[in-house]
Amino acid sequence: MLSRYIKLYYLFCKQNLKVMLEYRMDFLLGVLSVMLQQFAGIFFVKIVFDHIHALNGWTFYEILFIYGIAATGRSIHHIFFDNLWTLGWQYIRPGKFDRLLIRPINPLFHFIADRLQQDGFGQLFIGIIVIGTAMPHLSISWGVLEFFILVVMIIASGFIFVAINLFFATLSFWMVDSLPIVWTIFNLSDFARYPLTIYHKGIRHFLTWIVPYGFTAFYPAAYFIEGSGFERLALLTPVVAIVSCIFAYWFWNRGLKAFTSTGS
């Protein structure tokens, strides 16, 4: 069962890659543009830190580290789950979603596998470089265990992005296109690039317990930053990822049910 889906995913990817290579110029453009976009954000932080030593007690490299985890986690979402953006206007509105419902495979799987977004590789690349740059400057000794935890944290971060987008994209089943909502919520992730301690308490709680973007960058990063005071909470990251994915998937199934009973 699982192996069948893995095989299928591989085949879908292969097709997607072929299409991508057909438009090589665009592949490069996409990757480059996303890298530039990320770079602009980092450059901004750098400029600011040219004039200050610490932001609310956080050093430049610590901020960079948070930023890198956010970028890498987001890139997982961007590369593999980008189709979530298109549910309303490319699938439901033109009636293309019906196609997925008469196939003997999970419709969510089919929907996700339908597209691979090359542009996300730029983000992945920058994210890894940024993490790599910041790592040696953190006062922690990097062993195998730390590396392992870091990878787990990043994957969890990616899946929190996925879960949040899936949840709000699912609203499309009721309202045809929920893109404005998905987009607005996604903008909330901007908060996550900086230490949550700089914000008002209300915002912090909101981003921790309601829309858990805090777990996409700040908390996982804080695990590796000595004396951050969030080491405990940081360990919740994978749990939060799993819970939000389950919740989003449950919601998706509800949406699917509503969709098949209204048919619009």
- Binders of ligand ATP in range 205-264 (CB under 6 A): 263-264
| Shortest reach from residue 263's CB to ligand ATP, in Å | 4
Tell me if 125 sits within 8 A of 185, measured CB to CB. Answer: no
Q: What residue type is assigned to position 233 of the chain?
A: L
Q: Candidates 103-111, 208-216, 224-232, 240-248: pick the segment binding another protein (CB under 8 A).
A: 103-111
* Structure tokens given for 111: 């929907």
By a kind-dependent CB cut-off of 5 to 8 A, residue 260 interacts, out of another protein, ligand ATP, none, with another protein
What residues contact residue 147 under an 8 Å CB cut-off, 6+ apart? none
* Structure tokens given for 114: 């339908």
Q: What is the DSSP letter of 178?
A: -
Tell me if 20 sits within 8 A of 31, measured CB to CB. Answer: no
Rounded to whole angstroms, the Cα distance separating 168 from 177 reads 10
Residue of minimal Cβ distance to ligand ATP: 264
What track of x and - describes contact with another protein for positions 46 through 75 (by CB under 8 A)?
A: -xx-xxxxxxx-------------------
200 contributes a contact to another protein by CB under 8 A: yes
Q: Given candidates 6, 13, 96, 254, which one binds another protein under the rule CB under 8 A?
A: 96
What track of x and - describes contact with another protein for positions 15 through 44 (by CB under 8 A)?
A: x--xx---x-xxx-xx-xxx-xx-xx--xx
By a kind-dependent CB cut-off of 5 to 8 A, residue 145 interacts, out of ligand ATP, another protein, none, with none
3-state secondary structure 195-259: CHHHCCHHHHHHHHHHCCHHHHCHHHHHHCCCCCCCHHHHCCHHHHHHHHHHHHHHHHHHHHHHH
Q: In terms of CB distance, is 56 or 264 closer to ligand ATP?
A: 264
What φ, ψ does residue 140 adopt, rounded to 5°?
Answer: -140, 145
* Structure tokens given for 136: 């040696």
| Shortest reach from residue 174's CB to ligand ATP, in Å | 13
Binding site for another protein (CB under 8 A): 4, 7-8, 11-12, 15, 18-19, 23, 25-27, 29-30, 32-34, 36-37, 39-40, 43-44, 47-48, 50-56, 94-96, 98-99, 101-106, 119, 180-181, 183-184, 187-188, 190-191, 194, 198-200, 203, 257, 260-264
